[in-house]
Structure 1
Amino acid sequence: MTTSVMFCYAHPDDETFLSAGLIRTLSDEGFPPALLLATSGDAGQKNGAYRDWTREKLGTLREQEMAAAAKILGIADSRFLRLPDGRLQETDEAWFVQQVAEAINQVQPSAVFTFPPDGGNGHQDHRAISRIVTKAVVEGHCSSVRQLYYVFSDSLAQEGRTPAVTIDTLPLWPIKADALRAHDSQIEAIKRYFGDLSDCLPERRYEAFALAWESGAWWPEISETRARASLGLPHPVIPEQSG
């Protein structure tokens, strides 16, 4: 079976923070996914040696860091819209939807992954790309897409939603840690989120994703076995209770 998956996020490193384990698993199964990033991350935190860099220089660096992380994770295709970092909500919506739809249609994925509506952490750029990707998919601008997944979040749990796919990153932690290290300009923020990257039992060990939309239906009931099969993933492994 052949499948095609595309991840649509706001900044370089979003893909590794939220879905490195899933991305690498897809690649290892023979289905390397594509990635669309709305910005180059030029307004990101400036850590250490990068503290005095201009936004233009930082954006160029973060695209280079993204290329290194993509190689580690097995991403087949990385592309940038290069929209203003931190100001995605100001972008003309119709034009933004068109740009996202064109990028998706060039890849022709059957499934698209993005942030939940609240962005997961309330970040305005995260909320904006979630809204635009959702409109592009559910309004019929991307004919190949049959499934839309949201990164699972506390807000989705509070709505009574449940993950369709959960990835235990522990077996893949050395790979995820290497991809995180590739985003060196953001390493201080990364370590605040994940802790010491050398730990063998990582903080935020699991990645989880909810199936928000499938073939015209919102929030369809789906087993993890069927969700994984539709994406080309191996059968689910029951997570350990500790960790």
Structure 2
Amino acid sequence: MRTCLFFHAHPDDEALLTAGLMARLAAEGHRVVLVVATAGEAGLSAPAAPGSRPLGLVRMDELRESARRLGCHRVVCLGYRDSGLDGRAEGGFASAPVAPAAERLARLLKDEQADLLTVYDENGGYGHPDHVQVHRVGVAAAELAGTPVVLEATADRDRLLYWTRPLRRVLPLDDWRRAYTPGAQITHRVDVRRYARVKRAAMAAHDSQASGGLRALAVLRRLPMPLFRLAFGVEYYVRRS
């Protein structure tokens, strides 16, 4: 049995990029640990009812449910402030000093005797500052802890640009030319088609982020399963070490 630690910025990030591999590893008998830097308290929120709970608490409950559906063994939140949708909120994770944050994550890696750590690519995927910070902190933590394998969760930029060509007239997708990772640099394409239903269930757990018709999670989780499997049946990683 191996111990695999998945490091993400906010609740729901795990469902989009790494849920298939998490479910696969858990099903194969490995220990899967999910760590988020923030509770996502500055994210999108569903229309609030009187007396409703703070969004951060709601999103952590959603994260724990997502983790349960994926078969995770432990969920940890480092407790940093969410930097907001634009990544500019004062005092957020994106502006936290890297060294202390890396030391905290390294302690977790050592306590768990982790064999594998996943972070984001150096672009932070689509460039959110909290995601870029996950890359910086995670890479530094792995060095401190001596974690033998570090994988950068990403997407195939070439494939993404090809499939989104029809949308460029209506959506601002020019920044995607610098997002994620060129196909030639990807080292691992992981087949997770068997776990597509579990991955979609993990997305569905994040109901506060899928309550609007145009929100990404709302759209993605309504895709017919054959189309969902085609879109999300492979996950992409770059091995750093």
Taking structure 1 as the reference length, the TM-score comes to: 0.77
Q: How does 1:1-243 map to 2 (within 5 A)?
A: 2-49=1-48, 57-86=54-83, 87-137=92-142, 140-143=143-146, 145-153=147-155, 154=157, 155=179, 157-158=181-182, 160-169=184-193, 171-187=194-210, 188=212, 189-191=215-217, 194=220, 196-197=222-223, 199-202=225-228, 204-214=231-241
Q: In 2, distance between residues paired with 1:147 and 1:25?
A: 17
Cα gap change, 1:131/1:201 in structure 2, threshold over 3 Å: closer, same or farther?
same
CA contact (8 A) 2:15 2:203 kept: yes
SS in 1 for 2:127: coil
CA contact (8 A) 1:115 1:127 kept: yes
Between stretches 67-76 and 174-183, larger displacement belongs to 174-183
Alpha-carbon offset, residue 127 of structure 1? 0.4
Q: In 1, distance between residues paired with 2:28 and 2:81?
A: 35
Alpha-carbon offset, residue 195 of structure 1? 5.4
Alpha-carbon offset, residue 98 of structure 1? 1.1
CA contact (8 A) 2:38 2:82 kept: yes
Q: Deviation above 4 Å: which 4+ runs of structure 1? A: none
Q: In 2, distance between residues paired with 1:115 and 1:63?
A: 21
CA contact (8 A) 2:6 2:118 kept: yes
Alpha-carbon offset, residue 165 of structure 1? 3.5
Q: In 2, distance between residues paired with 1:181 and 1:32?
A: 23
Q: In 2, distance between residues paired with 1:156 and 1:44?
A: 21
Cα gap change, 1:165/1:198 in structure 2, threshold over 3 Å: closer, same or farther?
closer
Cα gap change, 1:116/1:157 in structure 2, threshold over 3 Å: closer, same or farther?
closer
Q: Which runs of 5+ in 1 are unaligned?
A: 215-243
Q: In 1, distance between residues paired with 2:38 and 2:153?
A: 19
Deviations 1:171-219 (A, max 9, x none): 32222222111111001434356251554421632342334322xxxxx
Partner of 1:240: none
Q: Look up the equivalent residue of 1:130 and give its one-letter code.
A: H
Cα gap change, 1:166/1:93 in structure 2, threshold over 3 Å: closer, same or farther?
same
Q: In 1, distance between residues paired with 2:223 and 2:47?
A: 18
Alpha-carbon offset, residue 19 of structure 1? 1.2
Cα gap change, 1:23/1:90 in structure 2, threshold over 3 Å: closer, same or farther?
same
CA contact (8 A) 1:23 1:32 kept: no
SS in 1 for 2:21: helix
Q: Which runs of 5+ in 2 are unaligned?
A: 84-91, 158-178
Alignment identity in percent?
Answer: 24
Q: Look up the equivalent residue of 1:142 and give its one-letter code.
A: A
Taking structure 2 as the reference length, the TM-score comes to: 0.78
RMSD (Å), alpha carbons: 2.3
